[in-house]
């Protein structure tokens, strides 16, 4: 609490420094500007300086002479309550207003309220305002209201009453009742024009939306993003005003301009997209994003794998999935089975040390085709293969003969197969013995024991066979296509496990082939 002497000193300095509370606080270091101004008000009212905020101020009784002085000052100096209070230091504006009403009830400056229009008058003004030949200023003079008031009524009433007005108008037209007077006819014509324009905009917006939905089936028509809405507006921007389109599409103006500005920026990866599409097509839709990215890097284009994946996802460049294997060559234990020497170890340190073989079936409308390959565990190279329309002994024996012809003198690989009948027939067994090859067989019904060969069949069918129409393809044509794929697989198809090289290129890099 500050003493009375301190408060008086503060008030004296406050008056001396032209009522600058900051100057007083800077010199004395106390109190705050708010407290100084409160003390000064108490001083002017004749109160005890520094009454507490929570205490009710003491009532001050003014003499009749003081009241007359205040009222006369008010009347002679522009009839401003605040100006009089500041000049005299008393009373409050509210009390001065009461004194003026009491002493001079007809002389106080009164605020004249605006004309209170009825609801019917407001509707009439709104309808006239929407007529092109009527100006808001002229309408304000007619109805004795301001220009801004007319627009206020227009914004409030039109949204609520416009559908009702149109329904009444339609009922009126259906009943065949002519409009009342020329002005009524003009109003109805303008309303009809507006309704026609509204329906036309909505129709064209729906047309543009259908085009977008065809291009992007994933777009939800009930939850359009601001980007899609901006695209709709851009499509009709040359026909209608931006204000109209923003209203019907329901998007903030700032959001539209944001997406519109982004759409004008050139596509950052446009050239990359074209190259990815070309690589995907060149490799017969068989490369996923990892191999596409590796092919890009070999072509001198270094880009993140995630960007390639995102672009392929956007462009719907999807490698076909796999289907269940159906063909089985197992006919029972017709001969003793060989031991499983491979034992799921498909790693080889050199070519022609571990071979895998099996038969797979392709069913097309023209018939069935069978493939019997030998896969080298060293690098996945297809050492030899046979393609035929029957899964007989000739199919596997001819494949084995060609594979044996490619062996060097000291090469004696292990040949691993399943327990199919083809690998137990005398022709197969005699060829294996004559060439000094070692037999190995999987367990009965255990495809993981030959999973590396099964994996090759899966890749082959996903990349070449599944999700394609073979209706007009003959058996010979299909076998040629399959043969071309196997050549491409050996010579051009890159494998990430080989450092992005094909099996043949990998062998050349190691000096194993010319």
Could you read off the pLDDT of 173-184 as tens digits, one per residue?
444 444 556 666
Q: Which of 92-106, 158-172, 263-277, 397-411 has the highest mean predicted lDDT (pLDDT)?
A: 397-411
End-to-end, the C-alpha distance of the chain in Å comes to 105
- pLDDT one-digit tens code per residue, 58-117: 556 788 888 888 888 888 888 888 888 888 888 888 888 888 888 776 665 555 445 566
Q: How far is CA 188 from CA 163, 243, 414, in A?
A: 13, 23, 95
pLDDT surpasses 80 at 399? yes
For residue 486, the model assigns a pLDDT of 94
Q: What are phi and psi of 135, to 5 degrees?
A: -95, 150
Residue 148, CA distances (Å) to 140, 387, 410 in order: 9, 88, 103
Q: Which range (18-27, 156-165, 417-426, 500-509) has the least confidence?
A: 156-165
Contact between 358 and 333 (Cβ < 8 Å): no
For residues 296, 301, 305 and 310, what is the CA-based torsion angle, rounded to 10 degrees?
A: -90
Helices (H), 322-438: 393-405, 426-435
Question: Mean of the per-residue pLDDT values for the chain?
Answer: 80
Element (H, E) at 102: helix 93-103
Confidence of residue 362 (pLDDT cuts 50, 70, 90): very high
pLDDT of residue 141: 60
CA distances from 432 to 344, 414, 427, 437 (A): 21, 10, 9, 5
pLDDT by residue (tens digit) across 206-248? 888 888 777 776 677 777 888 888 888 888 888 888 888 888 7
Does residue 237 sit in helix, strand or coil? coil
Structure tokens at 167: 């329904």
Let me know: does 342 contact 310? Beta carbons within 8 Å: no
CATH numeric code, 354-509: 3.30.420.10
Is residue 421's pLDDT more than 90?
no
Per-residue model confidence as pLDDT tens digits over 112-129 = 445 566 666 666 666 665
Q: What is the pLDDT of residues 374-391, one digit of tens each?
A: 999 999 999 999 999 988
* Other CB atoms within 10 Å distance of the CB of residue 252: 11
Report helix, strand or coil for 44.
Answer: helix
Residue of higher predicted confidence among 182 and 398: 398
pLDDT tens column, 442-460: 877 788 888 899 999 999 9
Longest dimension (CA), the chain: 141
d(CA 420, CA 328): 8
């Amino acid at each position: 609490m500050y003493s009375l002497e301190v408060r008086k000193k503060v008030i004296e300095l406050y008056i001396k420094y032209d009522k600058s509370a900051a100057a007083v606080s800077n010199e004395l270091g106390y109190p705050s500007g708010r407290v100084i101004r409160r003390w000064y008000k108490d001083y002017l009212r004749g109160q005890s300086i520094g009454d507490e905020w929570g205490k009710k101020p003491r009532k001050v009784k003014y003499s009749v002479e003081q009241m007359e002085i205040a009222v006369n000052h008010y009347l002679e100096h522009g009839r401003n309550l605040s100006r009089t209070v500041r000049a005299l230091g008393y009373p409050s504006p509210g009390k001065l207003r009461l004194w003026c009403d009491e002493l001079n009830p007809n002389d106080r400056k009164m605020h004249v309220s605006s004309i209170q229009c009825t609801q019917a008058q407001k509707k009439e003004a709104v309808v006239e305002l929407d007529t092109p030949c009527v100006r808001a200023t002229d309408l304000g003079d007619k109805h004795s209201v301001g220009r801004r008031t007319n627009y206020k009524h227009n914004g409030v009433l039109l949204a609520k009453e416009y559908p009702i007005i149109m329904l009444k108008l339609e009922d009126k037209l259906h009943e065949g009742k002519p409009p009342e007077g020329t002005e009524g006819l003009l109003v109805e014509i303008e309303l009809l024009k507006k309704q026609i324009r509204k329906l036309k905009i909505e129709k064209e917006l729906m047309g543009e939306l259908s085009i977008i939905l065809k291009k992007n089936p994933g777009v939800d028509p009930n939850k359009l993003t601001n980007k899609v809405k901006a695209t709709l507006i851009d499509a009709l921007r040359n026909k209608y005003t931006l204000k109209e389109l923003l209203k019907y599409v329901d998007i903030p103006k700032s959001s539209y301009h944001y997406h519109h500005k982004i759409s004008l920026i050139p596509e950052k990866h446009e050239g990359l997209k074209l190259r990815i599409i070309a690589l995907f097509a060149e490799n017969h839709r068989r490369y996923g994003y990892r191999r596409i990215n590796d092919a890009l890097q070999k072509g001198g284009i270094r880009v993140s794998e995630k960007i390639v994946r995102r672009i392929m996802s956007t462009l719907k460049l999807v490698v076909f999935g796999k289907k269940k294997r159906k063909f089985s060559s197992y006919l029972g234990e017709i001969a003793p089975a060989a031991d499983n020497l491979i034992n799921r170890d498909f790693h080889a340190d050199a070519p022609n040390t571990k071979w895998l073989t099996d038969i797979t079936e392709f069913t097309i409308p023209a018939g069935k085709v069978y493939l019997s390959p030998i896969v080298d565990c060293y690098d996945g190279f297809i050492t030899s293969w046979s393609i035929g329309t029957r899964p007989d002994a000739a199919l596997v024996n001819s494949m084995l003969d060609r594979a044996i012809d490619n062996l060097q003198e000291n090469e004696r690989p292990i040949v691993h197969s399943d327990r199919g009948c083809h690998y137990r027939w005398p022709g197969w067994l005699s060829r294996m013995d004559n060439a000094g090859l070692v037999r190995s067989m999987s367990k009965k019904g255990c495809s993981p024991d030959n999973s590396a060969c099964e994996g090759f069949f899966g890749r082959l069918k996903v990349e070449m066979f599944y999700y394609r129409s073979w209706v007009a393809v003959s058996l010979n044509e299909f076998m040629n296509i399959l043969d071309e794929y196997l050549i491409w697989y050996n010579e051009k198809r890159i494998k990430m496990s080989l450092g992005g090289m094909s099996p043949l290129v990998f062998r050349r890099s190691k000096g194993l082939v010319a």
